[in-house]
Amino acid sequence: MRRVFLLCLLALSSPLFAQKAAKAKKAGTPPPTKPPLVSVDITKLPAGATHLDLWLLCGQSNMKGRGLMPEEPKNDPRIVMMHKMDDQWYLARHPLHLTGDAKTFQGHDNAGVGPGLAFAEVLAAQDKTAAIGLVPCAVGGSSIKLWQKGAKLYEDALRRAKLALQTTAPVKARIRGILWLQGEANANAEELPQHADRLRAMIEAFRTELAQPDLPFIACTVGEMRDEPQLTHLKAMNEIQLALPKSVPHTACVDARDLKTHIGDNVHFDTAAQEEIGRRFAAEFNKLAGR
């Protein structure tokens, strides 16, 4: 027994264990802090706004966001979000994909800074008459198979999209597009050959169900921060994503392959990278919109 104890003590004091512990600590995302979310009356436009554009945020953990959050929450009255759990509308702030209670944050998971808010801030700065409504739908680790018509995450995103339209009917809001950041879960030899077809099928399903055949859809490449053999698969996934605009009209893809900063796990973009991705999403949308 003493020998086992000594071995455990040596392991805990080893440099390798210390490195792993420091990495795990660095990769963590702190919970949101008070004040609570600020509710909004979505049936009225904020001062100066003449229209409300809705955006679906879909994908897995990098869309959900794991970046370190700012100490003070942002509360722009022209940028609102639909709460991930209670489907109510609040002033948008990090984390957009909050799974905890809107007042106490009880039940919050590891959601942090993603690209959605930086994206909305660019659009709001470009058009002072626009209000932006973000509808977070991403789920960490989710396969694209769960985003096919009839599958759980697709159906929930569709439900939230329709509910967003219903609750914003008094101001005649419109769904302006879908942002997509996903791919790590399917970056393997078995699933890569089907990914392009599944991606196209998902886009077509959303456009059909929402009765918007030209609905803008903007994807983003996944991070190329892993070692081999994962890196080869991630690069192959990104080639599929970057080729999307060539085969599906009214689509675009953000190229984020040059962004290498992460939260300590070689997977999740850090805050600076996430905000840059958000700005690049906005730039790609401007190209699609002919701006």
Predicted confidence (pLDDT) per residue in 212-238, tens digit = 999 999 999 999 999 999 999 999 999
Is residue 3 in a domain?
no
pTM more than 0.85:
yes
Is residue 182 in a domain?
yes
Predicted confidence (pLDDT) per residue in 68-107, tens digit = 988 889 889 999 999 999 999 999 999 999 999 999 999 9
Is residue 203 in a domain?
yes
Q: How many domains does the chain have?
A: 1
Is residue 253 in a domain?
yes
Is residue 6 in a domain?
no
Is residue 224 in a domain?
yes
pLDDT, the chain, mean: 91
Q: 37: domain range?
A: 31-288
Is residue 17 in a domain?
no
Predicted confidence (pLDDT) per residue in 109-162, tens digit = 999 999 999 999 999 999 999 999 999 999 999 999 999 999 999 999 999 999
Predicted confidence (pLDDT) per residue in 237-263, tens digit = 999 999 999 999 999 999 999 999 999
Reduce the secondary structure of the chain to three states and give it as a string: CHHHHHHHHHHHCCHHHHHHHHHHHHHCCCCCCCCCCCECCCCCCCCCCCEEEEEEEEECHHHHCCECCCCCCCCCCCEEEECCCCCCEEECCCCCCCCCCCCCCCCCCCCCECCHHHHHHHHHHHCCCEEEEEEECCCCCCCHHHHCCCCHHHHHHHHHHHHHHHHCHHHCCEEEEEEEECCHHHCCCCCHHHHHHHHHHHHHHHHHHCCCCCCCEEEECCCCCCCCCHHHHHHHHHHHHHCHHHHCCCEEEECCCCCCCECCCCCCECHHHHHHHHHHHHHHHHHHCCC
CATH number of the domain encompassing residue 256:
3.40.50.1110
